[in-house]
Amino acid sequence: EYSITIRLSSKPELDIKFPTLSGLALMKIISWKEMYPDRKTDAEDLLFIMKNYEDAGNEERLYSQALSLLEEEDFDTRLAGIRLLGMDIAKISNPQTLKAVKEILEGETGEQSRYRLVEDMISGISMYSDQFDEILNYVEKLKEGISEVLHN
């Protein structure tokens, strides 16, 4: 579930694996942390994935498989989609990777003196500069989705 295979050619046979969005988001989180402060684009990419996850083929899943998420988020499909992304990340991660991602997100949410991940998410995109609290909430929802799988 961390990649999809696309056949580009039948003769000669040429298949290429692409990461799923949850796999890509997982890689972006880890890459951002390992290469900080040089990988601000990873944070920006993660924000893009979070903001669009429900529209990337997951809206039907929200209404059929994850209706409780929608209800808990007062039918805000974006927030429910971000939690679903967190759950999908947790499902494809091995325990060591999951622990690392959880530690990264815990260090970037809650009561902190700085929120480097959110700062990097909004630094290159001026239209998000006044949405700090909203974007911090997105990161909280991502962490919440990951934790939901850990506790089930």
What pLDDT, on a 0 to 100 scale, did the predictor assign at position 152?
67
- pLDDT, one tens digit per residue, over 9-35 is 999 999 999 899 999 999 999 999 999
Q: Is the pLDDT of residue 128 over 70?
A: no
How does DSSP classify residue 114?
-
Alpha helices in the chain (DSSP H): 21-34, 40-52, 59-64, 67-72, 77-92, 95-107, 116-123, 132-150
Q: Is the pLDDT of residue 1 over 70?
A: no
Band (pLDDT 50/70/90 cuts) for residue 137 is very high
146: confidence class by pLDDT, cuts 50, 70, 90? very high
Residue 148 has a pLDDT of 92
Lookup: tokens for 50: 């979070």
Average pLDDT over residues 95-117: 96
Which residues 6+ apart lie within 8 Å of 146 measured at CB? 86, 87, 89, 90, 98, 101, 102, 105
Nearest residue to 80 (alpha-carbon basis) of 68, 92, 97, 98: 68
Decide: residue 37, CB within 10 A, 0-12 exposed, 13-18 middle, 19+ buried. exposed
* Residues 6+ positions from 48 with CB-CB distance below 8 Å: none
- Would you kindly state where each structural domain of the chain is located, as residue ranges? 20-150
Given the structure tokens 């944070």, which residue do they identify?
Answer: 43
pLDDT of residue 124: 75
Percent with pLDDT over 90 in the chain: 86
The residue among 42, 39, 17, 145 whose CA lies nearest residue 85 is 145
- Mean local confidence (pLDDT), 135-147: 97
Stated pTM of the model:
0.91
